[in-house]
């Protein structure tokens, strides 16, 4: 399926029962889930929904409980997978900013849909 041949939601509902795969034979949902799996990645990505660009220290403050190592590893993986861009500034003091890549920005409607779902079902769910 080419990018100009995406299914409409109605077509998706009609076809999902028989299985939908990419041209490489993969489940298109699994590809994303593998990239964002883990306790912190979705929370990190949500910070990019809030902030156009954010520094490492600001991310760490926004995510209570995350260790420096966990944040570093998650950001490296998100950069490697193409969802996040790392920009290094070699000035005094040196700093790094992170932001969504163009591919990462395509997740904004996904986060919007997840937000709507969260509001709709908030009273039915007990957080872990």
Quick one: 67 and 25 in the same domain?
Answer: no
Decide: pTM greater than 0.95: no
Quick one: 93 and 105 in the same domain?
Answer: yes
Q: What is the mean pLDDT of residues 17-32?
A: 86
Q: What is the pLDDT of residues 54-111, one digit of tens each?
A: 999 999 999 999 999 999 999 999 999 999 999 999 989 889 999 999 999 999 999 9
Strand partners, 86: 98
Quick one: 7 and 52 in the same domain?
Answer: no
What is the distance between the alpha carbons of residues 85 and 101, in angstroms, rounded to a whole number? 5
Q: Is 60 helix (H, G, I), strand (E, B) or coil?
A: helix
Quick one: 20 and 43 in the same domain?
Answer: no
What is the span of the domain harbouring residue 12? 1-36
């Amino acid at each position: 399926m080419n990018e100009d041949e995406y299914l409409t939601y109605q077509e998706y509902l009609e076809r999902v029962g028989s299985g939908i795969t990419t041209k490489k034979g993969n489940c298109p949902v699994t590809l994303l889930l593998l990239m964002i799996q883990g306790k912190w990645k979705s929370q990190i990505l949500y910070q990019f929904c809030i902030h156009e660009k954010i520094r490492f220290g600001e991310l760490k403050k926004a995510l209570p409980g995350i260790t420096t190592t966990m944040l570093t590893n998650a950001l490296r993986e998100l950069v490697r997978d193409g969802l996040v861009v790392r920009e290094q500034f070699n000035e005094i003091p040196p700093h790094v900013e992170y932001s969504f890549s163009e591919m990462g920005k395509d997740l904004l409607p996904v986060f919007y849909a997840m937000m709507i779902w969260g509001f709709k079902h908030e009273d039915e769910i007990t957080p872990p």
